[in-house]
Amino acid sequence: MLIYGHNMRNISMFVKLKYYRTKEGYFDDHKYFQVITPNGAMRYAIGGYFVYLYSTG
């Protein structure tokens, strides 16, 4: 499964994704995430992450 997240300028969404790259030990303490739907909750293990930086100008 691929989850795409982005950081809003007002830090309201996905701001903690950057911690996987910037905070030592963050991955060790946050190896799982949940997807919650009306049909139930599913837990997934994080196998890796990738940071894509781009410029609009």
Please report the DSSP string for the chain in residue order. --------TTS-SSGGGGHHHHSTTHHHH--EEEEEETTEEEEEE------------
Give residue for tokens 């992450």.
49
Q: What is the pLDDT of residue 57?
A: 67
pLDDT in tens, the chain (57 residues): 777 666 667 766 777 777 888 899 998 999 998 889 999 999 999 888 777 777 776
* 28 phi/psi in degrees, rounded to 5: -60, -30
* pLDDT at position 7: 63
The domain ranges of the chain are: 1-57
